[in-house]
Chain A
C-alpha cells in the first residue's frame, strides 16, 4: 500500500517536471524576454546588463532550476502585456473559475444522476427517449453554441438574466465570491448551465447504463425475492453501486471541464483563468501561458492522485496487484 501511493506520487512529480520543462522552454525561447522589458531605444550595453541581472547568461540547467524554484514559490515572472506579476493575475482570477467549475460540477452530478436513474427506470417512456436523443445532440453541439443559445433565450428573448461578467463580487480576504448576493447568483446561472451541460449528458448516460446493468444482477433479483420494496432496491441497493464509477469518471473528466471553462468564460466574459489564458494566447503573453500550463498540470496531478487513492479505498486489490484498473 505505501509503495503504491509512493509510485503514484513519483509519477505525479515526473509529470510536473516534464510540464515544467515545457513551460521553461516557452518562457526562455519564445519571444525575446529582453525586448519585451526594455524600450526600443535601449543600448546594447543596457540589454547586456539586463540579461546579466535576469540571469539569462547563466547555463541553461541553472536557469531551469531557478525557474522551478521560483515556480514552486508561486513566482512566474511578469506578464509581458499587463506589466504585472503573473501570480497576482492568477490569484485574482482563481476564485471566479473555481466557483464556476465547482457549481457546474455539483449541478451536473445531481441533475445527471437524477436523469440517469429516471431514464433507466422508464426505459421506453416518451420523456426518456426524448432525453436520450437530446443528450446525443448535446454531445455534437459545441459548447460556445450552447452558451450563445442560452444567452439568446434567457437574456435577449426573455430578459430574465444578465448576459456577461460577474457583477461586483463580495470580497473575503483575497477571495472574491458571487455567492452572497442575488445578483451574483443570477450571473452564475447561465455559465454554470453551459459548463455543466456536457458533464451532465455524460453522467446521465453513465448512470443509465450502470443502473440497467445492476438491475439485472443476481443480488437485485434476490432482494426482490426477499420482498424488499422496489423503491428501496433501486435507491439503497442499485444506485449506491452505480455511483462508484461515476465518481471516478467525473474526477477524470476534470480536463474537459477546464477546456470548456476556457470557452464558457469567453462566451460570458467571465473574469476567470480561462479568459486570461485566451487573452495571453492572442497576444503571445508567454509568462501567463507558461504559468497557466503549470497550474493546469498541477490540478491534474492532484486530482489524479486523489482518484488513485479513492481506487485503493474502494478496491484494496489494486494496491496489491501491479496493474491499475482504469
Chain B
C-alpha cells in the first residue's frame, strides 16, 4: 500500500478534530450557550415538525369547533371534549397548534430575510472593499443613510410601496415574500460595513496579489479567496440579525402591516390576543408572546457567545 503525501482525513477523524477544537470547548464551558442552543434547537424543530406534533391544523376551518371557543388552558373543550393544553381562542383554535404554526412562519421569514440581507450586504461590502474609490464611496454613503433610519421604518416603507405596486388580488400570495424583501432591505447595511472593513485588510495580503497575478478575474477572487476569510463576523451578525428579524417581523405583523390574517405569525397572534386581554382571556396573548421572547432571547444569547468564541479580542 502506498501512502499519499497528505493523508486524507476520514469523516470520523474530521469529527474528532472538530470536537477537540477551542470552539467546541468554549461551547461546552459556557452554560448560557448550551442552554440557549438547546432551547433554540427544540423551538426550531417543533416549528418544522408542527404538522406532526400539533393536534389540529389551525388554518383549516373544518378542523375548528366553535363550541371550543375560549377554552381555558388544561380544560376540556365544550365541543370536542379534548383537553386544550394552552387553551383555545374565540374560534375554537387550539393555541398550542396556532403557536407552532405561527412560529413556523416567523422562523421562515426570519431565516429567509437574514439570508437575503446577508447576500445583498456581503456582495456590496466585497465590491466596496475590493474596488474602493467611487464604488466604495457610493455604497458606504447609502449604507450610512440606511443605518441612520430605523429598520422598522425602512421595512414599513418597502411594505407600503409594495402594497401600492402590487394589485390587490395578488397581495395575499406574495405578502410573505414582500415581508422577506422588506426586512432584508432594512438590515443589509451592517453586513456591508463589516465585510468592507475586513475586505480592505484582506485585499492587501499576498494571496490576493498572487491570485491577481495568475490572472483570476475580480469576481472569483472576491468569491473564492476573500469571502472565506471574511466569513467569521458575517456568521455572528447573521445570528444576531436572525433574532432581530424575528422581532421586527412580529412588530410589523402586530402593527397590522405584515402578513395577512390567513398566515398568522407570532406577531399576528399577539395582536389577536391583545383584543381578548381586556375580557380576561390571557392565554391567547401570553403563550405566543412567551414563545416570541424565548425564541429571540435564545438566538440572541447564542449570537453573543458566537461573537466571543470566534474573536476572543472583542470582549
Which A positions have Cβ atoms within 8 angstroms of B? 15, 18-19, 26, 30-31, 137, 140-145, 148, 151-152, 156, 163, 255-256, 258-259, 262-263, 266-267, 277-278, 280-284, 286, 289, 293, 296, 300, 304
Top 8 nearest A-B pairs by Cβ distance? A259-B150, A281-B160, A30-B164, A284-B164, A284-B163, A31-B164, A259-B152, A140-B297
Task: Report whether B149 and A262 are in contact in the complex, using a CB–CB cutoff of 8 Å.
Answer: no
Query: What does DSSP make chain A's interface, helix, strand, loop or mixed?
Result: helix
Task: Report whether A144 and B254 are in contact in the complex, using a CB–CB cutoff of 8 Å.
Answer: yes
B300 within 8 A of A: yes
Task: Report whether A281 and B257 are in contact in the complex, using a CB–CB cutoff of 8 Å.
Answer: yes
Contacts of A278 in B (CB 8 A): 156, 255-257
Query: B12-20, B106-114, B202-210, B285-293: which one contacts chain A?
Result: B285-293
Inter-chain CA distance A25–B255, complex, in Å, is: 25
Task: Report whether A281 and B285 are in contact in the complex, using a CB–CB cutoff of 8 Å.
Answer: no
Contacts of A31 in B (CB 8 A): 164-165
B126 within 8 A of A: no
Task: Report whether B153 and A262 are in contact in the complex, using a CB–CB cutoff of 8 Å.
Answer: yes
Inter-chain CA distance A255–B154, complex, in Å, is: 11
Q: List B residues 223-251 near A (Cβ within 8 Å).
A: 243, 247, 250-251
Task: Report whether A296 and B160 are in contact in the complex, using a CB–CB cutoff of 8 Å.
Answer: no
Query: B86-94, B193-201, B270-278: which one contacts chain A?
Result: B270-278
Task: Report whether A141 and B293 are in contact in the complex, using a CB–CB cutoff of 8 Å.
Answer: yes
Task: Report whether B152 and A140 are in contact in the complex, using a CB–CB cutoff of 8 Å.
Answer: no
* Residues of B within 8 A of A (CB-CB), count: 36
Task: Report whether B164 and A277 are in contact in the complex, using a CB–CB cutoff of 8 Å.
Answer: no
B161 within 8 A of A: yes
Contacts of B289 in A (CB 8 A): 145, 148
Task: Report whether B251 and A144 are in contact in the complex, using a CB–CB cutoff of 8 Å.
Answer: yes
Task: Report whether A152 and B277 are in contact in the complex, using a CB–CB cutoff of 8 Å.
Answer: yes
Of B160, B161, B164, B296, chain A has the most CB atoms within 10 Å of the CB of B160
Give A25's nearest chain B residue, CB to CB.
B161
Task: Report whether A266 and B255 are in contact in the complex, using a CB–CB cutoff of 8 Å.
Answer: yes
Q: How far is the CB of B68 from chain A (nearest CB, A)?
A: 24
Task: Report whether B150 and A255 are in contact in the complex, using a CB–CB cutoff of 8 Å.
Answer: yes
Task: Report whether B293 and A156 are in contact in the complex, using a CB–CB cutoff of 8 Å.
Answer: no
Of A15, A19, A142, A304, chain B has the most CB atoms within 10 Å of the CB of A142
Q: Known: A30-B164, A281-B159. Is A255-B277 also a contact (CB below 8 A)?
A: no
Q: List B residues 149-180 near A (Cβ within 8 Å).
A: 149-153, 156-157, 159-161, 163-165
Q: How far is the CB of B159 from chain A (nearest CB, A)?
A: 6
Task: Name the contact of A289 in the complex, choosing from B160, B243, B251 (C-beta under 8 A).
Answer: B160
Task: Report whether B148 and A289 are in contact in the complex, using a CB–CB cutoff of 8 Å.
Answer: no
Contacts of B282 in A (CB 8 A): 152
Task: Name the contact of A256 in the complex, choosing from B150, B163, B243 (C-beta under 8 A).
Answer: B150
Give A257's nearest chain B residue, CB to CB.
B150
Q: Known: A281-B159, A281-B163, A284-B163. Is A156-B148 also a contact (CB below 8 A)?
A: no
Q: How far is the CB of B181 from chain A (nearest CB, A)?
A: 15
B145 within 8 A of A: yes
Q: Known: A148-B277, A281-B156. Is A263-B164 also a contact (CB below 8 A)?
A: no
Task: Report whether A140 and B156 are in contact in the complex, using a CB–CB cutoff of 8 Å.
Answer: no
Inter-chain CA distance A98–B37, complex, in Å, is: 42
Q: How far is the CB of A132 from chain B (nearest CB, A)?
A: 15
Q: How far is the CB of B164 from chain A (nearest CB, A)?
A: 4
Task: Report whether B160 and A284 are in contact in the complex, using a CB–CB cutoff of 8 Å.
Answer: yes
